Amino acid sequence: MKLITLLFMTLSAAQPTPPSSNKTVHQFTVTDIDGQAFDLSNLKGKKVMIVNVASKCGLTPQYEKLQALYETYGPNKFVILGFPANNFLWQEPGTNQDIKSFCSTKYDVTFPMMSKISVKGKDKHPLYKFLTTKSENGLSDEGVSWNFQKFLIDENGELVKVISPRTQPDDKVVTDWLNQ
């Protein structure tokens, strides 16, 4: 019996582990809404929600709940990064300054906002290539379906969950994750 147990343990230990991506969001430097470099490696040790946003979308009122979530859980252990994108029915047509003004006056946004990017198509930003490609992120191949899609990133910079645009930022799935 000991020989069988030993043989089983040896074979189990020899099995290759499933492949995992060594890449994380911490490898990226993006540009904030004011044109300054924003190094995501500075977010090590924090949970991060990355969300593509738009000012003229039916989901735009989610800014209010995003801000409330940030005020409740951030900024020491949790950060929201807003990425304006004009990929869906031209719902983010403004300049970075227009977007910044809109976010601050309409929703009092204080979480970090980035420069306008593309989240799909041939000109997709490298961060979004990472977020939407399983061979890059190790979790899933899931394209951005609309404005306000949320990507949950753990403290190690790894993608752990993709949240539908229609799911509210303060949904139980998000708050349970934040409270882990």
Strands (E), the chain: 29-31, 37-39, 47-53, 78-84, 150-153, 159-163
With respect to residue 18, please indicate whether it lies within any of the assigned structural domains.
Answer: no
Would 8 be classed as within a structural domain? no
In a domain, 15, yes or no: no
Asked whether residue 3 is domain-assigned, the answer is no
Are 53 and 82 contacting, i.e. CB atoms less than 8 angstroms apart? yes
The domain of 105 spans 23-178
Reported confidence tier of residue 6, pLDDT bands at 50, 70, 90: very low
Going by their DSSP bridges, the two strands 29-31 and 37-39 should be labelled as antiparallel
11 domain residue, yes or no: no
* The one catalytic residue among 31, 32, 57, 110: 57
Q: What is the pTM of this model?
A: 0.87
SS3 at position 81: strand
Q: Is residue 130 part of a domain?
A: yes
Residue 97 has pLDDT above 80, yes or no: yes
What CATH code is carried by the domain that includes residue 139?
Answer: 3.40.30.10
Radius of gyration of the chain (CA): 19
Interatomic CA distance for residues 54 and 111, integer angstroms? 15
Domain count, the chain: 1
Is 57 catalytic? The answer is yes
Mean pLDDT of 14-40: 80
Does residue 12 lie within any of the structural domains? no
Instruction: Establish if 76 belongs to a structural domain.
Output: yes
Identify the band that residue 16 occupies on the pLDDT scale cut at 50, 70 and 90. Answer: very low
The CA distance from 180 to 15, in Å, is 31
